[in-house]
């Protein structure tokens, strides 16, 4: 590494493993904001649930929690009791816990590191997920307190790193790759979102944001490209109506890309742990 600064990550002593009821924990991250991490977290959960898996999504974005929006769950509240917090049940039984359920839209959360860390640990210990095959953890942009806390406290099975075309984005995403390596997160692969636009009228493909970044990062760091997701101008309209686009329009290239990502995850799981193939539950 060229940097003079090194991050050391000490795993705090753990008397018990957090999230014991969850078999596979996957984090979705990127150095960059607005690249589609929350869309990927939400729709990957739906695509896996469609194949019969039990899936939860934990949204630890304090400043812009958006998983409830993508899953049509805005305004819902988890039930809180002395036993813990019960996640909100979303489409196809996907269980969701988001800071967005606990805050209102207009009040900013102004917290420093220790408070954030405390809140994340509380979420990790107090949410009653029940038996889950997967927990997808949606992280905010950057390489700050949230990814660090999750990496330190939880046995994460793998990270998916989201990128979009453009050189500027590529540079920032490389930081997330290095961050993941520093903190011992296994990078499962890259997803390049908003990769291209396919015009159904002309049949032409346009690179709206510029050249691919995933090809370069994949080659340089030896990380597989899981999928390239197109820009779909229809998506935002469905999201704002609380509808799940990939369930409403399963034949679109965007929905097919999510099927490909679910297949990648299924194959990976079958390699590391053949006991959880979809026939077994
Ligand atoms: N493939 C796509 N086609 C069209 N719109 C998209 C696509 N992917 C994401 N979007 C839109 O881009 C916006 C940003 O997506 P999203 O919130 O998932 O990004 P994010 O990386 O989680 O952002 P943040 O860093 O703020 O958490 C959303 O409005 C989403 O609907
Ligand atoms: Mg997000």
- Which atom of ligand 1 approaches the CA of 233 most closely? 4
Ligand 2 centroid–CA 146 distance in Å is 12
Q: Which residues contact 250 (CB under 8 A, 6 or more apart)?
A: none
Pocket test for ligand 1, best of 27, 36, 100, 169 (most atoms within 8 A of CB): 36
Any ligand 1 atom below 6 A from CB of 239: yes
Any ligand 1 atom below 6 A from CB of 33: yes
Cα 246–Cα 27–Cα 250 angle in degrees, nearest 5: 10
- Other Cβ atoms less than 10 A from the Cβ of 52: the count is 12
255-276 pLDDT, tens digit per residue, is 999 999 999 999 999 987 665 5
Q: Which CATH code for domain 22-272?
A: 3.40.50.300
Per-residue model confidence (pLDDT) at position 2: 43
Q: Is the pLDDT of residue 75 over 50?
A: yes
Count CA within 13 A, CB hemisphere, residue 71: 34
Name residue 135's beta-bridge partners.
25, 56
Any ligand 1 atom below 6 A from CB of 38: yes
- pLDDT band (50, 70, 90) for residue 106: low
193-250 pLDDT, tens digit per residue, is 999 998 888 989 998 888 888 898 999 999 999 999 999 999 999 999 999 999 999 9
Domain ranges of the chain: 22-272
Ligand 1 centroid–CA 209 distance in Å is 14
- pLDDT band (50, 70, 90) for residue 122: confident
Q: What is the pTM of this model?
A: 0.91
| Phi, psi torsion values for 172, nearest 5 degrees | -70, -35
């Amino acid at each position: 590494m060229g940097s003079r600064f090194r991050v050391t990550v000490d795993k705090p002593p753990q008397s018990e493993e957090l999230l014991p009821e969850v078999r596979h924990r996957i984090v979705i991250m990127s150095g960059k904001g607005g690249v589609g991490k929350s869309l990927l977290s939400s729709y990957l959960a739906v695509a896996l649930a469609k194949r019969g898996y039990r899936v939860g999504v934990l949204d630890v974005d304090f400043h812009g929690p958006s998983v409830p929006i993508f899953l049509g769950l805005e305004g819902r509240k988890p039930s809180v009791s002395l036993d813990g917090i019960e996640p909100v049940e979303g489409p196809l039984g996907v269980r969701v816990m988001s800071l967005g359920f606990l805050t209102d839209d207009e009040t900013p959360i102004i917290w420093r590191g220790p408070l954030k860390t405390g809140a994340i640990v509380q979420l990790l210990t107090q949410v009653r997920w029940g038996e889950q095959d997967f927990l997808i953890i949606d992280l905010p942009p950057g390489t700050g307190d949230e990814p660090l806390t999750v990496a330190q406290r939880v046995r994460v099975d793998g990270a998916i790193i989201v990128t979009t075309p453009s050189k500027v984005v590529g540079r920032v995403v490389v930081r997330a790759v290095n961050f993941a390596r520093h903190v011992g997160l296994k990078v499962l692969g890259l997803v390049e979102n908003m990769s291209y636009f396919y015009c159904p009228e002309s049949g032409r493909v346009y690179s709206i944001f510029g050249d691919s970044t995933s090809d370069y990062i994949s080659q340089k760091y030896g990380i597989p490209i899981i999928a390239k997701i197109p820009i779909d101008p229809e998506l935002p309209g469905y999201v704002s109506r609380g509808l799940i686009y990939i369930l409403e329009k399963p034949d679109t290239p965007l929905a097919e890309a999510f099927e490909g990502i679910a297949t990648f995850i299924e194959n990976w799981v079958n390699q590391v742990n053949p006991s959880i193939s979809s026939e077994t539950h």
